[in-house]
């Protein structure tokens, strides 16, 4: 059974509907003490990093998620949920994250856009590429090519060791858009809004 973690910061309805579309039962869960009862967790999210961490801490979900990760069960964070997996964020000052993956969240650096008139937030369809990032293809991408389009909405992105990067995207410059460390996965784009490709990624996550 899959839990969609509810900490008052997520697009829960669209994530829930995405799992329904692939024929998988998911539960929207806000009770920290119940997380241990699930096989997999999805941590969605939209909004500010600091506010999200405040909700996770006050609800007890932060410690419950860390314990869940230590158990070896699978976790996937999407959009803000991916960023929360890391150690810290520079959004509206320094905020501490869940610390499940080494790295930090930074704002897009417009000085690196090489005079391209690109808007921030990065919003809309963009390509994720996976070729050459790991020694073997990640199981989350089974049935997909090495390049595919997903839907993004974000002003910040992660910086981490390339050993965790399983997907990258170009927007002014190259940034990490998907990560994996052992049983923990993160996607900067929204799989639930990315039509067939996003649904395929969620389906692969279910099968793992």
Rounded Cα distance between 206 and 40, Å, is 8
User: Which residues are catalytically annotated?
Assistant: 79, 190, 192
DSSP category for residue 135:
S
206 vs 1: CA distance, rounded Å? 9
Burial of 145 (C-beta count, 10 Å sphere; 0-12/13-18/19+): exposed
Count of other CB atoms within 10 angstroms of residue 180: 20
Beta strands in the chain (DSSP E): 2-5, 26-29, 40-43, 74-78, 86-89, 95-96, 101-107, 122-129, 147-154, 156-159, 165-171, 173-181, 184-187
């Amino acid at each position: 059974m899959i839990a969609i973690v509810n900490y008052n910061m997520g697009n829960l309805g669209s994530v829930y509907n995405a799992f329904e579309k692939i024929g998988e039962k998911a539960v929207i869960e806000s009770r920290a003490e119940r997380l241990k009862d699930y096989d997999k967790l999805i941590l969605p999210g939209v909004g500010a990093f600091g506010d999200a961490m405040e909700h996770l801490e006050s609800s007890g979900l932060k410690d419950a998620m860390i314990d869940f990760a230590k158990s070896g069960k699978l976790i996937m964070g999407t959009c803000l949920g991916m960023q929360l997996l890391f150690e810290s964020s520079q959004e509206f000052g320094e905020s501490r994250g869940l610390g499940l993956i080494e790295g930090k969240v930074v704002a897009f650096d417009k000085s690196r856009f090489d005079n391209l008139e690109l808007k921030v937030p990065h919003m809309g369809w963009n390509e994720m590429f996976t070729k050459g990032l790991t020694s073997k293809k990640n199981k989350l991408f089974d049935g997909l090519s090495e390049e595919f389009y997903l839907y993004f909405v974000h002003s910040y992105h992660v910086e981490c060791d390339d050993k965790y990067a399983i997907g990258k995207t170009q927007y002014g410059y190259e940034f990490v858009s998907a990560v994996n460390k052992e049983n923990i996965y993160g996607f900067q784009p929204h799989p639930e809004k990315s039509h067939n490709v996003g649904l395929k990624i969620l389906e692969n996550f279910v099968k793992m």
